[in-house]
Amino acid sequence: MEKLRDKNSSTSEYLASLSAKYEVDPDRLFSSLVSAAENKEATCGDLSIVQRGETHEKIMFLILTGSEIVAQVSIFKTFLSEHSHPIRNFMGSEKIRRFLSKKASTSGAILIRDLRDGMTGVCLKAKVLEVSKPSTIYTYYGNSSNVANALIADETGTIRLCLWNDQIDSISTGDTIQIENGRTSTFKGQKQLNIGKKGMLTRIDNPYNQAKAAMNA
C-alpha cells in the first residue's frame, strides 16, 4: 500500500507540473481526467485528454494541445477515485514553486506571494474572486471619487486590489486580469495592490467570458 501511495504522489506532482505549465486549474484537470476515464475524452482549457486504454489497475491517457501530444501518463484507478484534491495538494511543492518562480522571472511577471510593501512596476496575472460595492470619498478640495476593493488570486495567494472610478466597472467576479506597472502599499495593516495613473488593468478573455458575452449578445 505504501508503494501505491508513493506512485500516486509521483502522479500528483507530475500532473501539478502540467497544471502550472499550461495554466489550468488543478481541480479542473483532475475532473477532466475522471471524465475522460468515463467518456473516453475530455477538454480542460487548451488541453485535450484522450483515454487510450486500461488495465485492471491503470488507465492510459494522452494529453494534447491541438494535435501535439504533450504528455502520456498511466494513472492508477485508485488515484481517480480520490475525493480530496490530489493535484492541488501538490501545487505548493518545491518543484512547482521553482517552476512558477522561473516562469514569472522569464515573463517579467511576479507571484502574489512574492509581493512586498513599497514595490513598484508590479506585473502579474490573477483571477478576480470578488468585488466590493463602491463607496464615495471626498478629497480636501471637495472632489469626489468612487473606490472599491477586489480580492484577486493566483496559485500562490490572494491580495486586495484597490479600484478607482472607471476601473470598478471594468472587471467582474470570475474574470482573469493582467496588471501592468502596479505598486504595493499597506492600508490599515493590510497589504494591497494599486494600479495608479501609470498602471494598466486589462481583462483577459477566457472561455467563460466569451460564452457569457455570446449569451448577452
Residue 45 neighbours by CB distance under 10 Å:
16
Which domains occur in the chain, in start order?
2-97 (no CATH), 108-216 (2.40.50.140)
- Which pLDDT value is given to residue 161? 95
Residue with cell 495554466: 23
Q: Name the least confident of 14-23, 170-179, 186-195, 203-212.
A: 203-212
Average pLDDT taken over every residue of the chain? 83
Q: Which grid coordinates belong to 96? A: 512547482
Question: What band does 208 get if pLDDT is binned at 50, 70 and 90?
Answer: very low
Nearest alpha-carbon partner for 63 in 80, 52, 49: 49
| Dist CA 193 CA 121 (whole Å) | 11
Please give the DSSP secondary-structure letter assigned to residue 184.
Answer: E
Q: What are 40-67's pLDDT values in tens digits? A: 999 998 899 999 999 999 999 999 998 8
128 and 150 in contact (C-beta within 8 Å)?
yes
* Beta strands in the chain, from DSSP E residues, in sequence order: 41-44, 47-54, 58-65, 68-76, 122-131, 135-138, 144-154, 157-164, 176-187, 190-194, 200-204
Q: Average pLDDT, stretch 89-94?
A: 80
Nearest alpha-carbon partner for 157 in 191, 186, 133, 207: 191
CA 83, chain centre distance (Å): 21
Q: Between 10 and 151, where is the model more confident?
A: 151
